[in-house]
Amino acid sequence: MHEPREAEQSVLSVVEPGSEGPVRPRSPVEKTLRRYDQDQPMLLAPDVRDWLPAEDPARWVDDLVEHGLDLAPLYEDYTESRGAPPYDPWLMLKLLIYGYSYGITSSRELERRCQHDVAFMFLTAQAAPDFVAISRFRRRHLKAFTHLFTLVLGLCAQAGLVSLGKVALDGSKIRASASRHRAMSYDRMVRAEGELAAEVAALLADAERTDSAEDAVHGDRRGMSCPRSCGGGRAALR
């Protein structure tokens, strides 16, 4: 049986440690409230894949990267067996494509999302790479990543998606054109690819600017977390 956690020191110094705290206020009528118990065992499904709705865009990204791309150029870049093992390119590609598509170009913010956002936890299998690894992967594999990112957006457009996150794909028009002519004209295909490539280039440029600006301010620190010595919110409110 789940044991309730030990009494913690309150943020209010007037409350003695171990005290049960103030009596909960009551409403004027007998109103039944939804149960709220922070000591209850985890109720989420044990498989993170079950945490997302079936239609969530993260599943599109996951499927397209897993089954629609050739990641050989990424793997071929690892020619040295020594050193700490890097994160799997499959993981990093899903993380960056999904994050950038939603306008999240800060590597520090992507790290935070991997710890708190269910879609990112699903795509990374809860690995939560840090911001240094994220930005390093983008810079190291920039050329191959640019090509693969553009390809994923093109596949989404051909599948009929109007957008992926904040990236407009105009997929309905592309699909209609393909159905009328059985295949997109060469000029239309080149134009569509050029538009998507421009979107990708703009996102990657923004990612580089954002990381460089945040590095200048925070150095090698995350810049978004409370120092271990701060003691959390309780200490801040004493």
List, for residues 211-236, the tens digit of each pLDDT value: 999 999 998 887 755 455 455 555 54
- The predicted structure's pLDDT at residue 175: 45
Number of neighbouring beta carbons within 10 Å of residue 231: 12
The rounded distance, in Å, linking the Cα atoms of 125 and 94 is 11
CB 169 within 8 A of CB 161: yes
**Most trustworthy range by pLDDT among 51-60, 138-147, 178-187:** 138-147
Q: Name the least confident of 19-33, 153-167, 205-219.
A: 19-33
CB 95 within 8 A of CB 129: yes
The confidence band for 186, taking pLDDT boundaries of 50, 70 and 90, is: very low
Q: What is the pTM of this model?
A: 0.73
With both helix axes pointing from N to C terminus, report the angle between 57-68 and 89-101 in degrees, rounded to the nearest 10. Answer: 140
The SS3 call for residue 179 is helix
The confidence band for 157, taking pLDDT boundaries of 50, 70 and 90, is: confident
Using CB atoms within 10 Å of the CB of residue 74, give its burial: 0 to 12 exposed, 13 to 18 middle, 19+ buried: buried
Say yes or no to pLDDT of 162 above 60.
yes
Q: Which residue has the higher pLDDT, 189 or 111?
A: 111
Query: Which H or E run contains 171?
Result: helix 171-181
CA Rg value for the chain = 24
Which residues pair with residue 108 across a beta bridge?
none
- The predicted structure's pLDDT at residue 94: 96
Q: Which residue has the higher pLDDT, 65 or 176?
A: 65
Q: Mean pLDDT, to the nearest integer, of 12-38?
A: 63
Q: Mean pLDDT, to the nearest integer, of 125-150?
A: 94
Q: Mean pLDDT, to the nearest integer, of 143-167?
A: 89
Percent of the chain beyond pLDDT 70? 69
- The predicted structure's pLDDT at residue 30: 77
Q: Mean pLDDT, to the nearest integer, of 191-216?
A: 91
Query: Which H or E run contains 164?
Result: strand 163-164
- The predicted structure's pLDDT at residue 26: 73
- The predicted structure's pLDDT at residue 151: 92
- The predicted structure's pLDDT at residue 21: 56
Give DSSP secondary structure letters for 106-148. Answer: -HHHHHHHHHH-HHHHHHHTT----HHHHHHHHHHTHHHHHHH
Say yes or no to pLDDT of 48 above 50.
yes
- The predicted structure's pLDDT at residue 37: 67
First to last CA, the chain: 34
CB 68 within 8 A of CB 152: yes
Q: Which residue has the higher pLDDT, 183 or 150?
A: 150
Q: Which residue has the higher pLDDT, 107 or 26?
A: 107
